[in-house]
């Protein structure tokens, strides 16, 4: 059971599902109700979109671990399961099966919507996930960018597909688009930061496969400087967001961002400058994950 939990990154999959549901019930439907608009996607359509996305993510996690067997022996010896509890062939087959069912689910959704665009979007997401596992993760920054784009793109995709079958007029369209854009930018910045921190944490193992990660190519001091730039950019973006929230009397949402996102980010700045050993960077990676969850929680706080 623990092997399955590790293979599939169950908490991450649950976060993906939760994010989709929060967008539907705390962004799309409330705006639709305000402007008397009928919900575009039915419950089955939305469930299929969530399922396809989760299957793609699961396939990506397993394929990534399959191609990371050598590095994981050094980077994550306590979390290594391929070659121990699961054979490499079984892991690869499982990833391919998940990929196949993701495509089937995407095609099913496209047929129900009578629109091939959802299937195309999901196919692109699946292709990027495999491209990352095969080669992008070894390149300088492109692997980080790919992961960040997938994080941001998952959020954007929910609205893009939803909008394909909704009759949304100009004002509600702009409202939802602005919200989705803000959340997507936040997801991109935090994902970039977390991936770079993980690159520092995994330097020892990554060097075994000639990975050209930022800390390996440019060194840790330079990488820390880049992280500080990303952090300050994120804080500036959050402050701008808070100004808009206050203007629209969303004081609870603004306060939520301060307590659950901005203060932890300030702590991150303090901690990254003094981080020295692998354990320090692992803690910072976990901190960034909790900050991302705090950002997702702002979807609910934004109602107040």
**What is the rounded average pLDDT of the residues 81-91?**
84
CB–CB of 76/82 below 8 Å?
Answer: no
Q: What is the pLDDT of residue 69?
A: 81
Q: Among 87, 123, 88, which Cα is nearest to 102's?
A: 123
Domains of the chain, residue spans: 2-301
Comparing 36-40, 218-222, 254-258, 290-294, the range with the smallest average pLDDT is 36-40
Q: What is the pLDDT of residue 39?
A: 79
- 278-302 pLDDT per residue, tens: 999 999 999 999 999 999 999 998 8
Distance, in Å, from the CA atom of 164 to the CA atom of 182, rounded to the nearest integer, reads 20
Could you report the per-residue pLDDT of 104-159, keeping only the tens digit for each?
999 999 999 888 998 999 999 999 999 998 888 888 899 999 999 999 999 999 99
Residue 72 CA to residue 137 CA, distance in Å, equals 14
Instruction: Output the pLDDT for position 3.
Output: 73
State residue 248 phi and psi, 5-degree precision. Answer: -100, 20
Residue 164: other Cβ atoms inside 10 A: 17
Q: Is the pLDDT of residue 21 over 70?
A: yes
Q: What is the number of alpha carbons within 13 Å of residue 35 lying toward its C-beta?
A: 18
- pLDDT value at 239 more than 70: yes
pLDDT at 92: 92
Percent of the chain with pLDDT over 70: 100
- Quick one: DSSP state of residue 87? -
Residue 1's pLDDT band (boundaries 50, 70, 90)?
Answer: low
277: left (phi over 0), alpha (psi -120 to 50) or beta: beta
Q: Does pLDDT of 38 surpass 90?
A: no
Mean pLDDT of 26-42: 88
Q: How much is the pLDDT for 76?
A: 77
Q: Which residues of 126-153 are buried (b: 16+ CB within 10 A; e: fewer)?
A: bebbbebbeebbbeebebbbbbbbbbbb
Number of other residues whose CB lies within 10 A of the CB of residue 189: 22
More confident site: 73 or 103: 103
What's the whole-number mean pLDDT along residues 49-72? 90
pLDDT of residue 168: 82
* Token pair belonging to 4: 């399955």
- Rounded to 5°, angle at Cα 280 from 276 and 285: 130
């Amino acid at each position: 059971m623990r092997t399955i939990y590790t293979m599939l990154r169950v908490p991450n999959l649950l976060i993906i599902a939760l994010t989709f549901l929060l967008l539907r019930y705390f962004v799309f439907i409330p705006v639709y109700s305000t402007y008397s608009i009928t919900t575009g996607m039915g419950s089955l359509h939305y469930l299929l979109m969530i399922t396809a996305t989760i299957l793609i993510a699961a396939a990506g996690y397993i394929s990534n671990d399959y191609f990371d067997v050598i590095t994981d022996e050094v980077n994550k010896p306590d979390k290594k399961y391929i070659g121990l509890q699961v054979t490499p062939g079984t892991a690869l087959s499982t990833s391919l099966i998940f990929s196949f069912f993701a495509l089937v689910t995407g095609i099913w959704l496209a047929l129900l919507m009578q629109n091939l665009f959802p299937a195309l979007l999901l196919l692109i997401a699946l292709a990027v996930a495999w491209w990352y596992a095969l080669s992008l993760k070894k390149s300088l920054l492109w692997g980080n960018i790919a992961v960040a784009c997938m994080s941001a793109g998952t959020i954007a995709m929910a609205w893009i597909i939803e909008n394909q079958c909704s009759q949304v007029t100009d004002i509600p369209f702009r409202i939802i688009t602005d919200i989705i854009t803000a959340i997507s930018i936040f997801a991109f910045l935090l994902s970039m930061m977390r991936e770079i921190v993980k690159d520092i944490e995994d330097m020892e193992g990554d060097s075994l496969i000639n990975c050209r990660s930022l800390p390996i190519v440019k060194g840790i001091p330079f990488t820390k400087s880049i992280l500080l730039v990303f952090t300050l950019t994120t804080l500036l973006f959050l402050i701008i967001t808070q100004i808009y929230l206050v203007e629209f009397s969303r004081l609870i949402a603004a306060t939520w961002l301060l307590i659950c996102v901005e203060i932890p980010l300030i702590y991150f700045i303090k901690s990254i400058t003094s981080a020295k050993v692998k354990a320090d960077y692992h803690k910072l990676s976990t901190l960034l994950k909790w900050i991302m969850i705090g950002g997702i929680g702002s979807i609910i706080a934004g109602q107040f």
